[in-house]
């Protein structure tokens, strides 16, 4: 018998499928459309590891199934090609980033073809090509024109190692998202997108998305909507008269317990309210805090909060009490009003501060309104108000609305919603990105450059530095231009856009990747979008996924789209851990590549193993033994199917025929639902079980010759999306189609529902919940009959000792439970 030789099959079939244009997006108006997208990768020099396969192979299986199931399938791939690594490589080697990108994308594509990912390569896109970034620039101007892009000269997060400014999202936790270096703050003029204007919609519209709960939670956390109130305290100063000191609180119910106010050291009115006597102290405190990073502040304050008194007193408008004003760096500059009312009785941080500096603690919330004392720690729970004037006796919850209304009526405050999310810092002083299409004119200000694309010029040096100047600034011929509005001399913006701008709309481009008079063809977008299935790693939760949602909503507002959410269903594949229990990384030398595994076991076995290794979302450790297992499975399919390729028809074994029909129907049913439901591991297990059954009964093949052939056909077709090579070869060898055909365009098999039910079923007989026996009964037996048969069992009789059972529970098709 011909041995299984995967190399031969791969060499044979890949070119055949390519010549048939098998993966080209079909556009049959009779069929439903299905858009399945993988996060487009950054093509790094390291190439793909088997970890990436956990993203690309499952979606590929789904797409192949959908094609067989009668869908038009859009399954594209492209390159998120702008970014630091190509630039860094270019600096090191002198090779132009365009060339670096070309080499890397070719390698990625070659690897994807190794495991036969069925992308429609005629739709390949590259975010660093002018045909693409022209439209990224177009969207910058769309945001600019809608008042959603602005320049500001603020403190930024800055990575001293990468020498780059970072958005808030890219510096979460105070460390750089790329290199994990602790970020510092730097004041530089930068461009921002007003994502904060969309905060409410970004939170509210999460609810209906079919996304993993943790990703939705992360976005909700990140946006951090909180409802509270702003209340204006006032400070009467000698020099500047009365200064308003608005504070933001989510606990206005505790305001009668405010015993001091705290301003962030960066607060703009801090020195104005500080008295002469305390000025030196305050100034010293400000400079000491500004020398620290946020992380250093946090670490220091865990040992004990610090702060200094300003000498000023603020008036609490609710009770007209004057309370001291302090500055302390546990109050953050960037949130709320950078000033708080401190309620030590009911906020742990304020409590710690009050204890340290011996400030008064007044209890104003207690269960049932009865003071219980606040000695060891703050009581943060809601309760009933006390010591709160006319509001005493109210519950925390009702008082929050009442007190906010009261403040509004008396014009010293109002209810207010605040968010943690900040505007998106989008400009980068970097070479390898899409130039921001703005011209700076002394007379006209920032003027949009409508003549797109603004081509990224060639420069002599890509090297970034700490100056806050882009490498493009050295390119004088390019920088110096004329103002499109007044015609006078002007300079181009030299910053480029962060890579996340490019990826905020790419999913739209795939619908019409070669459209050259618009970012996308509206009709094509209507056909395909929103994305039906989006798959990638969870690391994009509060970066790419939040930015892309934001841009989609902006486009919707601009009338360009008729939907507000780009990705209907999102799935995150689990991480693949290497054999040494660590993440795969080049520096650890533990990366396993699809290349070596395809050489050793073939693409079919690799594809099978990737989806069989465990649940799709779970973090799994790589096991080459596991891969060897799916390789054996493929070989067993090969051997069994060739062995029973030609069978002499014999007298029909009715009993076995029935059993085989049952096994076939139940397998096809399970594979269909498991694969579609992303339960690939159990879907493959069902195929394995079925093969085990066929193998054990191979000697009976001749007694069910016609059915056996149908089994072979359905088995191969339903395995084809996972193991394209071996199935197409066997399908042809067994004569199911001629050379003009391929298994991959066959219709997905159906099953006979009646066959999934057996005539007789085995029922477990329990006595008080413990299994004591089994009976075989007709599937349609009545409860009474089943009970009668169960009670006749010797074991049951022994237990009952002649008396009647107290209770008998019969679950048809499953069990009988007898309570004696």
Q: Identify the CA nearest to 79 among candidates 58, 59, 101.
A: 101
Q: CB of residue 222 vs RNA: minimum separation in angstroms?
A: 6
Sites for RNA among residues 609-638 (CB under 7 A): 612-615, 618-621, 623, 625-626, 628-630, 632-633, 635-636
The CA-atom distances, in angstroms, between 663 and each of 645, 688, 689 are 20, 12, 9
517 binds RNA per the rule CB under 7 A: no
Burial class (CB in 10 A: 0-12, 13-18, 19+), 477: exposed
Question: What is the x/- site pattern for RNA, positions 636-655, by CB under 7 A?
Answer: x--x----------------
179 binds RNA per the rule CB under 7 A: no
Burial class (CB in 10 A: 0-12, 13-18, 19+), 186: middle
Among 16, 95, 179, 217, binds RNA (CB under 7 A): 217
Instruction: Return the range that interacts with RNA (CB under 7 A); candidates 99-107, 192-200, 387-395, 803-811.
Output: 803-811
Place of tokens 């949602």: 549
Query: How far, in Å, CA of 786 to CA of 24, rounded?
Result: 56
Query: How far, in Å, CA of 675 to CA of 611, rounded?
Result: 10
Among 221, 240, 582, 745, binds RNA (CB under 7 A): 221
330 binds RNA per the rule CB under 7 A: yes
311 binds RNA per the rule CB under 7 A: no
Q: Identify the CA nearest to 691 among candidates 630, 625, 753.
A: 630
Sites for RNA among residues 117-156 (CB under 7 A): none
- Which residues are CB-contacts of 603 (< 8 A; sequence separation ≥ 6)? 6, 10, 114, 115, 116, 724, 725
Among 121, 150, 335, 656, binds RNA (CB under 7 A): 335
Instruction: Return the range that interacts with RNA (CB under 7 A); candidates 203-211, 451-459, 595-603, 674-682.
Output: 674-682
Q: CB of residue 433 vs RNA: minimum separation in angstroms?
A: 23
Handedness of CA 642, 643, 646, 650 (dihedral sign): negative
Instruction: Return the range that interacts with RNA (CB under 7 A); candidates 187-195, 472-480, 560-568, 675-683.
Output: 675-683
232 binds RNA per the rule CB under 7 A: no
Q: CB of residue 397 vs RNA: minimum separation in angstroms?
A: 15
Nearer to RNA, 53 or 456 (CB): 53
Nearer to RNA, 331 or 525 (CB): 331
Sites for RNA among residues 693-712 (CB under 7 A): 695-696
Among 538, 560, 702, 707, binds RNA (CB under 7 A): 538
Nearer to RNA, 747 or 807 (CB): 807
Instruction: Return the range that interacts with RNA (CB under 7 A); candidates 219-227, 316-324, 446-454, 481-489.
Output: 219-227
Helix (H, G, I), strand (E, B) or coil at 650: coil
173 binds RNA per the rule CB under 7 A: yes
Sites for RNA among residues 343-382 (CB under 7 A): 343, 347, 349
Place of tokens 């905020």: 504
Among 218, 642, 645, 734, binds RNA (CB under 7 A): 218
Query: How far, in Å, CA of 778 to CA of 112, rounded?
Result: 52
Buried b (16+ CB within 10 A) or exposed e, 155-183: ebbbbeebbbbbbbbbbbebbbbeeeebb
Q: At what angle do helices 50-68 and 594-601 cross, to 10 degrees?
A: 60
249 binds RNA per the rule CB under 7 A: yes
Residues 215, 39 contacting (CB under 8 angstroms): no
The CA-atom distances, in angstroms, between 673 and each of 335, 534, 536, 679 are 48, 19, 22, 8
Phi and psi angles of residue 308, each rounded to the nearest 5 degrees, phi first = -135, 150
669 binds RNA per the rule CB under 7 A: no
Considering CB under 7 A, how many residues would be counted as binding RNA? 85
Query: How far, in Å, CA of 768 to CA of 789, rounded?
Result: 17
The CA-atom distances, in angstroms, between 251 and each of 329, 382, 398 are 21, 9, 12
Nearer to RNA, 189 or 304 (CB): 304
Instruction: Return the range that interacts with RNA (CB under 7 A); candidates 76-84, 92-100, 331-339, 382-390.
Output: 331-339
541 binds RNA per the rule CB under 7 A: yes
Residues 422, 196 contacting (CB under 8 angstroms): yes
Among 515, 522, 647, 764, binds RNA (CB under 7 A): 764
Nearer to RNA, 73 or 634 (CB): 634
Among 2, 187, 768, 788, binds RNA (CB under 7 A): 768
Q: Retrieve residue 101's tokens.
A: 């990108």
Question: What is the x/- site pattern for RNA, positions 771-800, by CB under 7 A?
Answer: xx----------------------------
Q: Identify the CA nearest to 386 among candidates 252, 231, 249, 256.
A: 256
């Amino acid at each position: 018998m011909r041995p299984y030789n995967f190399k031969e099959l791969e060499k044979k079939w890949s070119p055949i499928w390519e010549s048939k244009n098998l993966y080209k997006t079909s556009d049959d108006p009779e069929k439903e459309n299905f858009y399945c997208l993988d996060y487009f990768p950054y093509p790094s020099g390291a190439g793909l590891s088997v970890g990436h396969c956990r993203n690309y192979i499952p979606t590929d299986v789904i797409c192949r199934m959908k094609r067989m199931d009668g869908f038009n399938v859009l399954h594209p791939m492209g390159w998120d090609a702008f970014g630091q690594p190509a630039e860094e490589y270019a600096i090191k080697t002198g090779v132009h980033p365009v060339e670096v990108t070309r080499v890397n994308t070719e390698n990625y594509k070659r690897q994807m073809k190794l495991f036969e990912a069925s992308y429609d390569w005629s739709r390949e896109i590259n975010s660093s090509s002018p045909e693409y970034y022209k439209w990224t620039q177009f969207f910058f101007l769309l945001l600019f024109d809608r008042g959603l892009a602005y320049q500001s000269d603020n403190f930024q997060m800055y990575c001293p190692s990468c020498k780059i400014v970072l958005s808030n999202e890219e510096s979460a936790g105070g460390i750089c998202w790329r290199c994990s270096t602790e970020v510092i703050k730097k004041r530089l003029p930068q461009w921002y997108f007003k994502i904060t204007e969309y905060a409410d919609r970004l939170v509210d519209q999460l609810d209906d998305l079919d996304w993993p709960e943790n990703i939705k939670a992360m976005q909700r956390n990140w946006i951090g909507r909180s409802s509270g109130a702003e209340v204006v305290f006032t400070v009467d100063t000698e020099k500047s008269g009365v200064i308003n000191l608005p504070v933001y609180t989510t606990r206005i119910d505790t305001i009668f317990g405010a015993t001091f106010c705290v301003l962030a050291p960066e607060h703009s009115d801090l020195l104005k309210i500080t008295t002469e006597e305390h000025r030196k102290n305050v100034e010293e405190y400000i400079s000491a805090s500004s020398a620290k990073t946020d992380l250093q502040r946090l670490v220091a304050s865990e040992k004990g909060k610090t702060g200094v008194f300003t000498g000023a007193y603020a008036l609490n408008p609710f009770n007209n009490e004057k309370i001291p004003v302090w500055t302390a760096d546990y109050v953050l500059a960037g949130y709320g009003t950078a000033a708080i009312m401190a309620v030590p009785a009911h906020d742990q941080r304020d409590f710690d501060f009050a204890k340290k500096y011996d400030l008064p603690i007044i209890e104003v919330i207690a269960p049932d309104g009865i003071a219980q004392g606040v000695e060891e720690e703050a009581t943060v729970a809601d309760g009933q108000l006390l010591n709160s004037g006319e509001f005493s006796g109210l519950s925390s919850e009702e008082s929050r609305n009442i007190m906010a209304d009261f403040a509004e009526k008396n014009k010293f405050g109002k209810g207010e919603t605040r968010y943690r999310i900040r505007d998106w810092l989008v400009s980068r002083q970097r070479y390898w990105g899409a130039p921001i299409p703005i011209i700076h004119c002394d007379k006209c200000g920032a003027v949009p450059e409508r003549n797109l694309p603004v081509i990224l010029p060639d420069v002599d040096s890509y090297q970034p530095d700490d100056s806050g100047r882009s490498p493009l600034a050295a390119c004088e011929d390019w920088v110096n231009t004329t103002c499109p509005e007044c015609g006078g001399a002007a300079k181009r913006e030299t910053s480029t856009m962060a890579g996340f701008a490019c990826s905020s709309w790419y999913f739209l481009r795939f619908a019409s990747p070669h459209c050259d008079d618009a970012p996308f063809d509206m009709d094509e977008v209507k056909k395909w979008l929103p994305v039906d299935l989006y798959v990638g790693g969870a690391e994009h939760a509060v970066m790419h996924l939040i930015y892309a949602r934001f841009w989609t909503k902006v486009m919707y507002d601009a009338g360009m789209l008729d939907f507000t959410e780009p990705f209907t269903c999102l799935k995150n594949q689990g991480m693949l851990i290497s054999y040494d229990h660590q993440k795969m990384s080049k520096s650890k030398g533990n990366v396993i590549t699809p290349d070596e595994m395809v050489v050793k076991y073939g693409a079919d076995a690799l594809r099978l193993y990737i989806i069989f290794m465990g649940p799709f979302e779970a973090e799994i450790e790589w096991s080459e033994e596991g891969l060897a297992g799916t390789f054996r499975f493929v070989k067993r399919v090969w051997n069994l199917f060739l062995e029973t390729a030609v069978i002499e028809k014999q007298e029909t074994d009715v009993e076995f025929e029935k059993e085989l029909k049952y096994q076939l129907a139940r397998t096809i049913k399970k594979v269909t639902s498991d694969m579609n439901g992303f339960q690939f591991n159990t879907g493959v297990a069902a195929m394995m079980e079925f093969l085990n059954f066929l193998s054990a009964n191979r000697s009976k093949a001749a007694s069910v010759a016609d059915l056996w052939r149908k089994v072979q056909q359905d088995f191969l077709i339903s395995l084809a999306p996972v193991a394209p090579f071996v199935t197409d070869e066997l399908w042809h060898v067994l004569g199911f189609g001629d050379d003009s055909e391929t298994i991959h365009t066959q219709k997905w098999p159906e099953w006979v529902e009646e066959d999934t039910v057996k005539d007789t079923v085995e029922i477990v007989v329990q006595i008080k919940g413990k299994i004591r026996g089994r009976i075989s009964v007709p599937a349609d037996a009545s409860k009474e009959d089943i009970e009668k048969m169960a009670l006749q069992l010797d074991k049951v009789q022994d237990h009952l000792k002649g008396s009647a059972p107290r209770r008998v529970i019969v679950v048809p098709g499953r069990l009988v439970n007898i309570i004696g």
